[in-house]
Chain A
Amino acid sequence: MSPSPTDRIEKKILLLAPRARVWRALTDPQEFGRWFGVEISGTFAPGARMKGKVTHKGYEHMTWDVTIDRMEAPRLFSWRWHPYAVEAGVDYSAEPTTLVVFELEEVANGTMLTVVESGFDRVPPARRAEAFRMNDQGWAAQMKSIEQHVGQTS
């Protein structure tokens, strides 16, 4: 069976920084929190459940809640989460998760980072639709402001 076209997202980005630097930005909770927009306490370790408060303006009611999967310094870091679990106080634990994998590869002028999020096909469609309605407007607006000062993001 060929992979379904709706199951995964893949992103590649060239970062002009050494791999060790990128690894730290991904796996140090404070550093991670700063660019990802979440307030976390604790330490990332395989199997650890991490929760944090989302700090994006307008999204402060959301909780960032992941279970760390693998940490293989300095090349692979992954977690599982509920992709649209955005309402505080709602228990999503019975629902399927998606897997987020960061892979870091040394290249001539820095680090090639690949992010793959997969498993969307197992998320109940009704939940996807609901999450889409809740998120769409806000993200569209935020993307516009980011696009203005960043060039290459794919």
Chain B
Amino acid sequence: MLARRARARAREAALEGSAPVFAALGDETRLRLVSRLGTEGPLSIARLTAGTTVTRQAVTKHLSVLAGAGLARGTRRGRERLWELEPEPILEARRRLELVSRQWDAALAKLKAAVEG
């Protein structure tokens, strides 16, 4: 429990101050990488580039942007590096939007009652 909280705090500290984290998702290539890592699990750069027109260099650059935003992580496995998602920031962003969305639903329901009453 404590360890988890310490880890969460470390992660937040790492994220804090990093420029627009989710702007990282505003790029089509990066979104596609996130989606593949999300559905296929940890992948090497070779696997990520196979069958696409994106170069190895470009993928490496995009992955480091994602890593910088706390969204992905690369781990050395033998001679290559395996990339996987760090899902928490994305989940957190979704939960946060969901919360604000519910707050607006509640407020607008009251507005509706007020103007139609």
Report A-chain residues with C-beta under 8 Å of the C-beta of B96. Answer: 6, 120, 128-129, 131-132
Summed over the interface, the residue pairs from A and B with CB atoms below 8 Å come to a total of 129
Task: Tell whether, in the assembled complex, residue A128 and residue B93 are in contact, meaning their CB atoms are under 8 Å apart.
Answer: yes
Choose from A3, A9, A13, A126 the contact partner of B97 (Cβ within 8 Å): A9
Show the binding face of A for B, using Cβ within 8 Å.
1-7, 9, 11, 13, 15-17, 21-22, 25-26, 31, 34-37, 83, 111, 113, 115, 117, 120-122, 124-126, 128-129, 131-132, 135-136, 139-140, 142-143, 146, 150, 153-154
Task: Tell whether, in the assembled complex, residue A139 and residue B99 are in contact, meaning their CB atoms are under 8 Å apart.
Answer: yes
Counting CB contacts under 8 A, is B101 at the interface? yes
Report B-chain residues with C-beta under 8 Å of the C-beta of A132. Answer: 92, 95-96, 99
Report B-chain residues with C-beta under 8 Å of the C-beta of A9. Answer: 97, 100-101, 104
Counting CB contacts under 8 A, is B107 at the interface? yes
Choose from A4, A17, A35 the contact partner of B26 (Cβ within 8 Å): A4
Report A-chain residues with C-beta under 8 Å of the C-beta of B22. Answer: 4, 6-7, 120-121, 125
Per-residue 0/1 for B76-103: is the Cβ within 8 Å of any A Cβ (1 yes, 0 no)? 0000000000000110111111011111
Report A43 CB to chain B, min CB distance, Å.
19
Counting CB contacts under 8 A, is B114 at the interface? yes
For the complex, count residues of B whose C-beta is within 8 A of A: 41
Report B25 CB to chain A, min CB distance, Å.
5
Report A34 CB to chain B, min CB distance, Å.
6
Report B103 CB to chain A, min CB distance, Å.
6
